[in-house]
Amino acid sequence: MNQSLPSLEIKAHTNKHARFLVALGLFLILINCAISMVWWNELRLVLMFVYLVALVVVITGVAKLSEPKFSLTITPQNITYHHRYGQWQLNWSQIKRLGLVKETYGVSQIELPYLGVKLNDISELVTQISPRLANRLIHEQKPLIAFAIKCQLMPFEQGVISFEPVHLGNGQLLKGPVAAFIHHCRALDRALGFHLFIPHSSMDRELTDFHQLLNKCQAYAKNYH
C-alpha cells in the first residue's frame, strides 16, 4: 500500500468507556466496603445488591478492555474484521455487495443491527478466517438464525449447526469449525442475502453512515493501483 495513503482504523464505540466502567465498579466496591463496616446489619440486602451491581460493571469493563483496540482495518486492498477470537480479511474484489440487513415481518420492516457482506465466492473465505473466530461467530450469530426461522426465511433444519465436510471447487475436502461456518454462511445467504455480518457494535458511527463509508472505500479500491 502507498505510504501516503494510511489505513483507516475503526475503533468500536462500545469500547470507548471500558476504563470508566472498571473504575466506576471499583469505586462502588470501595464505597460499599466503607459503608458495610458501619451499617452492614441495617443495610445488608442493599449492600449485597450494590456489590453485585459493582461486580457486573467491573466484569463488563474488563471484557471490553480485552477486545482488540481496533475492530476494523480498511485499506485500498482489503478490509479486516478484528475480534478477540481472531479475524477475517477480504480483498475488495472478493466482495460482491454490502448492504443493510432488512426484512419484512408481518406488516413491519425490520432493520437488523448488522451490515451484510455478500461474497462472490464463499470458498475464498476458507483461508482468510481463523478457526477460533469461525467457531465463535456461529454462536454469536444465533439471533440471526432465530430471526430467519421466525420470519420463515429458513426451515428449522437449516438453522442447526452442520458438521458435514465441505467440498470446495478445487477438490479439497474441508472439515472442522471453518467447514461448519461455511455451511452457516450459506444458510444465512439463502435466508438474508449475505454471507458475513458486521455487527453495529463494532462500528464507530451510525449503521447507514458506516454503510456509505464502506461503499465509498470499495468504489475507491476499484480505481486504486
Distance (Å, whole) CA 202 – CA 81? 9
Closest CA to 224 of 76, 5, 95, 2: 76
**What are the φ/ψ torsions at residue 40 (nearest 5 degrees)?**
-60, -50
Closest CA to 142 of 92, 197, 103, 94: 197
pLDDT, position 224? 65
pTM given for the model: 0.78
**DSSP state at residue 224:** -
pLDDT, position 2? 45
Characterise 48 by phi-psi region: left (phi > 0), alpha (psi -120 to 50), beta (else).
alpha
Distance (Å, whole) CA 188 – CA 185? 5
* Beta strands, E only, the chain: 8-10, 72-74, 78-83, 86-91, 95-105, 108-119, 166-167, 173-174, 196-199
pLDDT, position 32? 85
pLDDT, position 174? 86
pLDDT, position 23? 84
pLDDT, position 1? 42
Per-residue pLDDT 10s for the chain (225 aa) are: 444 455 888 887 666 677 777 788 888 888 888 888 888 887 888 888 888 988 888 887 777 767 778 899 999 999 999 998 999 999 999 999 999 998 877 778 889 999 999 999 988 888 889 899 999 999 999 999 999 999 889 998 888 888 888 888 777 788 899 999 999 999 999 999 999 999 998 898 999 999 999 999 998 887 765
pLDDT, position 16? 64
The residue with cell 466502567 is: 21
